[in-house]
Amino acid sequence: MATGRTHRPATRSRGIPEATVARLPLYLRALTALSERSVPTVSSEELATAAGVNSAKLRKDFSYLGSYGTRGVGYDVEYLVYQISRELGLTQDWPVVIVGIGNLGAALANYGGFASRGFRVAALIDADPAMAGKPVAGLPVRHTDELESIISDNGVSIGVIATPAGAAQQVCDRLVAAGVTSILNFAPTVLAVPDGVDVRKVDLSIELQILAFHEQRKAGEEPGQGARTAASRSGSARPAAAAARDGRKGPDGDVPAVMPA
Amino acid sequence: MATGRTHRPATRSRGIPEATVARLPLYLRALTALSERSVPTVSSEELATAAGVNSAKLRKDFSYLGSYGTRGVGYDVEYLVYQISRELGLTQDWPVVIVGIGNLGAALANYGGFASRGFRVAALIDADPAMAGKPVAGLPVRHTDELESIISDNGVSIGVIATPAGAAQQVCDRLVAAGVTSILNFAPTVLAVPDGVDVRKVDLSIELQILAFHEQRKAGEEPGQGARTAASRSGSARPAAAAARDGRKGPDGDVPAVMPA
DNA sequence: CCTTGTGAAAGGGTTCACAGCA
DNA sequence: TGCTGTGAACCCTTTCACAAGG
């Protein structure tokens, strides 16, 4: 059948487990904040708290990068920021294209965290001719016809898809054919890509559904009090709570999406 | 400070592993598409392909829900749609509030997949007085002052935060105090919440950084082996030169986000 | 003392492979 | 015959607990 690949070649390269890689950005953010406050060193305990994980996990994660800490003291903030940035490949600048400039695409284009950390929006692309030339976040929107040339001219290897579900696969195919090897997909569809291409997805409705699942459980076993009904009020129910972690996968098509491309 | 829970008595929920719960929405989407095409039954193999997972995993997942399939035949589409919807708590309507109506908030408000399955946007809330009353996606934007009353009047238990990072924790606290027990956070911050409250986060820059990590690896070892994909030129991994951005600037847990709340 | 770094134990999740049944 | 449902193996991740070392 259709490829359906969404895998990664096994990231065998040199250790570092996926779960750890997924947390490095979190550590980096916390460290950057400390750095701005000119904090020289942090303990695994403090940093872990700031990043929302537990210290054992953090130390284990860092152990995969090397021994960057000092026993009895902690980690040097600046040094760690550098090491993690390097590990994540953020010491270089990655040009990115965003396809589908609707509300979502515009929001992404305006997103500050973007430009600030290793990424640069090389171009905004939309299929609507009426959008062409219109400035969004300081950049003129380019028409889809130019997609291929934009990618090769700028050496873009990362693409963001913010089109409606119906256009996603088509856009994806063109991006890949033009040389993009990493895709961040906001459209609620399972993208089929050849081996060697990484796809990560962000799906609003999936997240909401997962929350609804847990919410339902809470309502179902409300302690004492009577009246509950879905969404009555009642603060915390049973700590049947949570696990907010990240689960990745590829959704499939249906749900109307967010914007025109 | 401190991230609320760090420990959980183990997902006692009611059997169903977290990983499975995270995939149910995928199956549901694929099934809904089949349902619309009036396909009566589907095999684990077909459905798995449509959902982007492998059949063994899918069958194992379904086994936690019960034995809804027929050996030698497959699964009844309509029946499964119902069972999964029920399991996810989508047979009831969940009122949701979106706080922070900038580009992102507006995109979320316009998101069709929302209303279509179990969720209903009860209100759009923003801190900017100028926004008050302005219609977005057919709903008038309400001012933050009304947050508490909106939540209790509508029995809202799920809230979406699409504000800048700086306002997120504060908004979160108010939501929780007002009775919200599930939060979907789009702001790049670690939210601290009391036990019993679920938080899931969607973070653009984290996803991009993870992609960059893998992209960097690809660039590093570009194996001769042609035909590694449809991606014509392996010119992938072509980080533009560039040192980086200016020293300071404020990329961090305080990244200028997407919109005002 | 203090905190890191890490073997080893414990838990989940994924995959295998086949028994069981329509 | 064909496909589901599932025990068991396997593998990845998290947690524990302590030795190592500033």
Cα–Cα distance, A114 to B212 (Å, whole number): 12
DSSP B129: T
Separation CA B119–CA B156 (nearest Å): 11
Structural element, H or E, at residue B208: helix B204-221
The length of chain A is: 261
Residue B10's Cβ-count burial label (10 Å; 0-12, 13-18, 19+) is exposed
Nearest to A110 among B103, B110, B235 (CB): B103
Min Cα–Cα distance to chain B from A70, Å: 24
pLDDT of residue A221: 62
Q: CATH says B18-88 is which class? A: mainly alpha
Residue A22's identity, in one-letter code, is A
B218 contact partners, CB below 8 Å, separation of at least 6: A181, A196, B236, B237
CA distance A188 to A251: 6
Q: Do the annotations mark residue A100 as ligand-binding?
A: yes
Quote the tokens at residue B250: 């404020």
Q: How far apart are CA B17 and CA B53, in angstroms?
A: 16
Q: How far is A132 from chain B (nearest CA, A)?
A: 19
How many angstroms separate the first and last alpha carbons of chain B? 22
Per-residue pLDDT at B151? 98
CB A42 within 8 A of CB A75: yes
Q: Do A137 and A121 form a contact (C-beta atoms < 8 A)?
A: yes
Q: Tell me if A212 and B238 make a contact (CB, 8 A cut-off).
A: no
Strand C nucleotides, any atom under 7 Å from protein beta carbons: they are: 1-8, 11-17, 20-22
* Most confidently predicted of B110-114, B196-200, B239-243: B196-200
Provide, in whole angstroms, the distance separating residue B54's CA from nucleotide C15's C1': 10
CB B198 within 8 A of CB A244: yes
A174-224 confidence digits (pLDDT tens): 999 999 999 999 999 999 999 999 999 999 999 999 999 999 999 776 554
Query: Rounded to a whole number, what is the distance in Å from the CA of A63 to chain B's nearest CA?
Result: 17
> What digits encode the pLDDT tens for the residues A15-32?
899 999 999 999 999 999
Q: Do A211 and B200 touch (CB under 8 A)?
A: yes
What CATH code is assigned to B94-204?
A: 3.40.50.720
The C-alpha R_g of chain A, in whole angstroms, comes to 21
**What CA–CA distance (Å, rounded) separates B192 from B180?**
14
Sheet of B74-76, strand order? B41-42, B74-76, B69-70
- In this complex, the nucleotide whose C1' atom is nearest to the CA atom of residue B43 is D3
Q: Which residue has the higher pLDDT, B189 or A230?
A: B189
Q: B-chain residues within 8 Å CB-CB of A137?
A: none
The encoded tokens of residue A12 equal: 């065998």
- As a rounded value in angstroms, the CA-to-C1' distance for B100 and D22 is 48
What average pLDDT does range B141-153 have in this prediction? 98
A234, pLDDT greater than 50: no
State the binding site of B. 100-105
Residues of chain A contacting B25 with CB distance shorter than 8 Å: 203, 205-206, 209-210, 251
In three-state secondary structure terms, B183 is strand
| Nearest residue: Cα versus C1' of D3 | B72
A65 Cβ contact list (under 8 Å, min separation 6): A16, A83, A84, A87
Q: Are strands B198-201 and B182-185 parallel, antiparallel or unpaired?
A: parallel
Q: What are phi and psi of B18, to 5 degrees?
A: -50, -45
Give the pLDDT of residue A248.
26
Closest CA to B202 of A221, A202, A200: A202
Q: Do A107 and B253 touch (CB under 8 A)?
A: no
**What is the per-residue pLDDT for B223?**
53
Using C1' positions and the CA of A68, the closest nucleotide is C4
> Residue B226: which pLDDT band, with cuts at 50, 70 and 90?
very low
Query: For A92-232+244-261, CATH number?
Result: 3.40.50.720
pLDDT at A34: 98
Query: Are the beta carbons of B28 and A92 separated by less than 8 Å?
Result: no
Contact B117 A205 (CB under 8 A): yes
SS3 content of chain B, % helix, strand, coil (to 5): 40, 15, 45
Domains of chain B, by residue range, sit at 18-88, 94-204
Q: What is the pLDDT of residue A121?
A: 96
Summarised one tens digit per residue, pLDDT across range A96-130 is 999 999 999 999 999 877 766 789 999 999 999 99
| Residue A252 pLDDT greater than 90, yes or no | no
Higher pLDDT, A227 or B26: B26
Question: How far is A12 from B101, CA to CA, in rounded Å?
Answer: 42
Residue pair B31/B84 in contact (Cβ under 8 Å)? The answer is yes
CA neighbor of A14 nearest in space, from B205, B239, B214:
B214
Q: Which nucleotides of D are covered by protein (CB under 7 A)?
A: 1-8, 12-17, 20-22
Are A112 and B253 within 8 A, CB to CB? Answer: no
| CA→C1' distance for A17 and D12 (Å) | 8
Residue type, A78: E
Lowest mean pLDDT among A122-136, A240-254, B223-237: A240-254
More confident residue, B257 or B136: B136
Select the residue from A210, A222, A245 to test the B interface by mutation, using most B Cβ atoms within 10 A.
A210
CA dist B86 and A218 (Å) reads 15
For residue B192, the 8-state DSSP code is P
Closest CA relative to residue B100, chosen from B158, B44, B164, B6: B164
Reduced to 3 states (helix: H, G, I; strand: E, B; else coil), residue B214 is helix
Rg of chain B over all Cα atoms, to the nearest angstrom: 22
Which residues is B185 bridged to in the sheet? B161, B201
Find the nucleotide nearest A12 (Cα to C1′).
D12
Measured distance CA(A90)–CA(A226) in Å, rounded? 53
SS3 assignment for chain A: CCCCCCCCCCCCCCCCCHHHHHHHHHHHHHHHHHHHCCCCEECHHHHHHHHCCCHHHHHHHHHHHCCCEECCCEEEHHHHHHHHHHHHCCCCEEEEEEECCCHHHHHHHHCHHHHHCCEEEEEEEECCCCCCCCEECCEEEEEHHHHHHHHHHHCCCEEEECCCHHHHHHHHHHHHHHCCCEEEECCCCCCCCCCCCEEEECCHHHHHHHHHHHHHHHHHCCCCCCCCCCCCCCCCCCCCCCCCCCCCCCCCCCCCCCCCC
Q: State yes or no: pLDDT of A236 exceeds 70.
A: no
**d(C-alpha A184, C-alpha A162), whole Å:** 9
Residue with tokens 């001012």: B143
* Nearest-CB residue to B182 (from A2, A215, A254): A215
